[in-house]
Structure 1
Amino acid sequence: MNPGFSARVVLSRAQRAGLVAALVLIAVWAVLRPMAVLQTVVAIVTVAYGAAIVFRVVLVWAAARGEHRIRVDDEEARAVPDHELPVYTVLVPAYREPAVIGQLMTHLGALEYPADKLEIILLLEEDDRETIDAASAVVSGGHVRILVVPESQPKTKPKACNVGLEQATGEFVTIYDAEDVPDPLQLRRAVVALRRLGPSYVCLQAELGYFNIDQNRITKWFALEYATWFRSLLPGLVALRMPIPLGGTSNHFRARELRELGAWDPYNVTEDADLGIRLARSGYRVGVLDSVTLEEANSDFINWIKQRSRWYKGYLMTWLVHLRSPRATVRQLGWRGILCLNLFVGGTPLAALLNAVLWATTVLWFLDRPPVMEEIFVPPFYYLGVICLVFGNATVIYLNVLSARTMDRPDLLGTALLSPGYWAMMSLAGAKAAWQLVFKPSYWEKTTHGLHLSSVAKEPADVG
């Protein structure tokens, strides 16, 4: 891939020089006029935070104006004769996942796609003997094979996917995670849709949902968030012709164009979001496919923080990487793409990080009303901050309520109203992401899967 797009070094030399110069100027200004610095910082943060909220509202509005998910019904998907289907490669990167390998093979075995046109490659790490042994015991059929990824750095999912892509023979390629339960017709739907849309569309992102929504409060929050993301925000980006930060699974590519683009950045820990931006910069389009892959919602607080901080860190990496050459980025993405890059890709983790600071400031104001805060919040930005506090938070809660409705899950209404608890978790993840971005940028924090299995085991047996 183009070295200029690699996150191997997060900040370029020019970015580092610019950051140091900016910090020096701010420090000098803070010594000379400390209140002016505080007022400026508060003004910038308030405007940016408000803009990010408005941007999301616009996306939801745009998604609601029309149908922006690509539909292929069951009859149309099955109507394509087997001999007219292309070879389809399914890459499944897995690391330390022996508990779910058996289920994985069952779920992949349910795919309605001819075996002689299907290539499933399990990408297993060389030092993960336990998962290799578990996979070797259940793999059957000539269309499924194990590819052991040689030990090397960085040890990341995108590095493994690149190894798999080198050996893939399919015209189309997709990625599934080890715990995924894909729609059995998803590959056929993707083939029909990509042929219908033409060569300008290089990728389709299927919807992701969860099969363990009701496990606990965290999984319910997670499910509402994903419903908002895949049913409102991503279709809104499609409607406004903006870049689509891809999800980590169930994205379906034309293999030739994916290779020409340089595939995945092995150093970016949200390689999917980065690839979505690079697709847009190259002039390709991405669609949202109306087909659902069920995943396991993270049910453990610590495990959730690990996963979410990695996602936030990757979004920050992607944002910084694509701001290395601002002129080129503006030329290739246009003003719509720049809005998405700053308010969606960069804005998502930054808003999560700032939430805790803004809430603490609000609590301090109501508890003590220190005079210095009246000086920091000059009137225009004070009122804008109040609008963000009241209407912004209410809007985000409303979006979760809307998601409960689109999911036909009225029982999740209470969970939607308790969303501020989930935001607190996001703030912790944002802080951890910022720390790791500085000290451990390419470290891939492993997410443990299969936690729902222990929950199921604890449920009483049905003896009725």
Structure 2
Amino acid sequence: MPKGKTNQPIRHTAATVINTGQFICFTVLLVLVAVAVYLSPLTVAKIAVATILVFFAVFVGLLKMGLWYASTRYRYPDYEIPPESDPTLPHYLALVPMYREPDMVEPMVRGMAALRYPKKKLIVQLLVESRDRDPATRNAIDAVALPDFVSVVEVPDIKPYGKQRALNYGAHRAITEAHDLPRKERAGRLCVIYDAEDRPEPDQLLKAVGMFRAYDVIDSKVVCLQAQLEFSNQTSTWVSRLMWVEYLVHFGWVLPGMARLGLIPPLGGTSNHFRLTFLARVSIGVEQQPPGVRWAGIWDMFNVTEDADLAGALALHGFKIAMLDSVTKEVATTRVNTLIGQKSRWLKGYIQTGLIFTRTPIRMMSQMGPVRWFVYVMFLLGTPLSVLLSALSWVLTFVYFATRSQAIEQLFPALLLYLGVLLLVFGNFALFLQHVAAATKSEGFGTVKYMLLVISGIWPMLTVLSLAKACYELANPKLRHFWDKTEHGHDLHTLDEVAGLRRVAGSASVSAAIIPRDAREPARKPESA
């Protein structure tokens, strides 16, 4: 923690949406607005319009376009990729949550076996649910003879369910077991999060070790590296094409731009590489955990974007996040209904996390830095807010051109009218250009024509539906912490083709991972509570 600060960082959870202080502030604000509307409704409406326009100018013009420019100035540190034979390589823990993913078991094991890292120092934990909750996945695992470096950890059946619960239990076990290791070896352990459908580059772990070693010299506060995520099935459907471009923008420009400016990049849900000992320092206390949990949690079990929340927690403790010079391939959803569920989870989690980091704003600003805190919160809350305000702006525009309403004209004095038109035309064009540039930069020329779905309003309309679903779930106590699972299992062939696993399928390490268990050895008993 920086010098001069004696107050210890406090992590809040998303167990409740807002606390008492926030409720009082929101109530007072609503009362003041209601009184102002009663006294002078037109003045309040003009102020509201001006505020919305200023918000868009800051959020789109300064933040998004500024991050785009800053990303072009991002540079990886000079680092060397250590050889696989390096005896000083640290132990590496890979946590892989798996729920309702029987088709992903064999591909995942092949992907982990293809990693270039000494297997005696690699520990892959498949974090699975109890057999009663997910028998198909457990049966698929039991049907495969797992290599020695892969183990099965059964996560206790405790609510709320979700990926973060599995990660907490896996990390808890790993940290507890590491107590028997020598201090130096325990301090150097690394940890990475992978989803079941992930295919990291074979040398990704070695690259992470090399970059962490470089940061040991130039900036020891860097305790997390975020790899870039890309989709391997970008041409499957129009949905996967647009998701592919969104990922290119987010992981190729937004996160590197934030890292370049010294801000807080909200982590993606996978391919985060950590120094394991530092994760334990940002844990949420046992007293804030759900009933039945007897261990501290690194990831907030009540938050459905536990990754973005963890980024803020690291910043609270003075740690930094940098980008990793490596790519992990995933498969994008190809269906609209799954897309809405996935986006609604992200938006709901952004709202949860944004509200968490505004509960004690003065304290958090002092610990994170005012600018870093402001941009972090603005990105989290501004993302869903921009979706809502953009939809309202388009509705207002269409209504005006359809009715030529005098009431709407009164809301836009000359200055606001010019600013509104400028943002409407050039703001949307800038975002459209950003998506086109992302597609063409990554040789996705065939995807450029699909960007018309963005500017035509079809893609934004799906995002609005996702936001509506997210708000409904937040308002419903039974769905507040519901993890909308994104099903995988489609386009699996694209992952093998991209990762080159078919070319190495004859190697001993890979072929041994996919031999049916009954042809080799008895099933090993899974590790559990």
Fold conserved (TM > 0.5)?
yes
Deviation at 1:122, TM superposition (A): 0.6
Deviation at 1:3, TM superposition (A): 6.4
Specify the alignment match of 1:50 in structure 2: 57
Distance change (3 Å), C-alpha of 1:36 and 1:435: farther
Which one of the candidate residues 246, 250, 258 is aligned to 2:271? 250
> Is the 1:270–1:310 contact (alpha carbons within 8 Å) kept by the matching residues of 2?
yes
State whether structure 2 residue 107 is matched by structure 1 residue 103.
yes
Specify the alignment match of 1:352 in structure 2: 387
> What is the alpha-carbon root mean square deviation over aligned residues?
1.9
2 CA distance for matches of 1:61 and 1:426? 25
Cα shift readout 1:174-220 (whole Å, capped 9, x = no counterpart): 11001111111111111110111023110000000001101011111
2 CA distance for matches of 1:353 and 1:95? 32
Deviates more, 1:421-430 or 1:321-330: 421-430
Specify the alignment match of 1:210 in structure 2: 231
Q: How does 1:52-131 map to 2 (within 5 A)?
A: 52-54=59-61, 55-64=63-72, 66-69=73-76, 76-79=80-83, 81-126=85-130, 127-131=133-137
Distance change (3 Å), C-alpha of 1:184 and 1:154: same
2 CA distance for matches of 1:240 and 1:3? 25
Specify the alignment match of 1:178 in structure 2: 196
Q: How does 1:308-323 map to 2 (within 5 A)?
A: 308-323=343-358
Distance change (3 Å), C-alpha of 1:22 and 1:395: same
> Is the 1:206–1:288 contact (alpha carbons within 8 Å) kept by the matching residues of 2?
yes
Which one of the candidate residues 144, 163, 166 is aligned to 2:172? 166
Which runs of 5 or more structure 2 residues have no equivalent in the other structure?
A: 1-7, 179-185, 284-297, 496-529
> Is the 1:350–1:430 contact (alpha carbons within 8 Å) kept by the matching residues of 2?
no
Identity %: 36
Specify the alignment match of 1:450 in structure 2: 489
Distance change (3 Å), C-alpha of 1:100 and 1:70: farther
Q: How does 1:9-408 map to 2 (within 5 A)?
A: 9-54=16-61, 55-64=63-72, 66-69=73-76, 76-79=80-83, 81-126=85-130, 127-168=133-174, 169=178, 171-198=189-216, 199-262=220-283, 263-408=298-443
- Specify the SS of the correspondent of 1:272: helix
Report the TM-score, using the length of structure 1 for normalisation: 0.93
Q: Give the residue type in structure 1 aligned to 2:22.
A: Q
1 CA distance for matches of 2:75 and 2:239? 29
> Is the 1:68–1:288 contact (alpha carbons within 8 Å) kept by the matching residues of 2?
no
Deviation at 1:71, TM superposition (A): 7.1
Q: Answer with 1 or 2: which has the greater Rg.
A: 2
Specify the alignment match of 2:15 in structure 1: 8
- Specify the SS of the correspondent of 2:329: strand
1 CA distance for matches of 2:301 and 2:77? 30
Specify the alignment match of 2:295 in structure 1: none
Cα shift readout 1:250-288 (whole Å, capped 9, x = no counterpart): 000000000111111111100100111111121111101
Deviation at 1:455, TM superposition (A): 11
- The structure with more helix, counted as a fraction of residues: 1
- Specify the SS of the correspondent of 1:93: strand
State whether structure 2 residue 440 is matched by structure 1 residue 432.
no
> Is the 1:91–1:161 contact (alpha carbons within 8 Å) kept by the matching residues of 2?
yes
> Is the 2:258–2:264 contact (alpha carbons within 8 Å) kept by the matching residues of 1?
yes
1 CA distance for matches of 2:88 and 2:112? 21
Q: Give the residue type in structure 2 aligned to 1:289.
A: L
Q: Give the residue type in structure 2 aligned to 1:427.
A: V
Distance change (3 Å), C-alpha of 1:40 and 1:306: same
Deviates more, 1:423-432 or 1:222-231: 423-432
Which one of the candidate residues 457, 460, 469 is aligned to 1:423? 460
Specify the alignment match of 2:181 in structure 1: none
> Is the 2:341–2:466 contact (alpha carbons within 8 Å) kept by the matching residues of 1?
yes
> Is the 1:310–1:444 contact (alpha carbons within 8 Å) kept by the matching residues of 2?
yes
Deviates more, 1:429-438 or 1:124-133: 429-438
1 CA distance for matches of 2:472 and 2:49? 22
Report the TM-score, using the length of structure 2 for normalisation: 0.82
Which runs of 5 or more structure 1 residues have no equivalent in the other structure?
A: 457-464
- Specify the SS of the correspondent of 1:135: helix
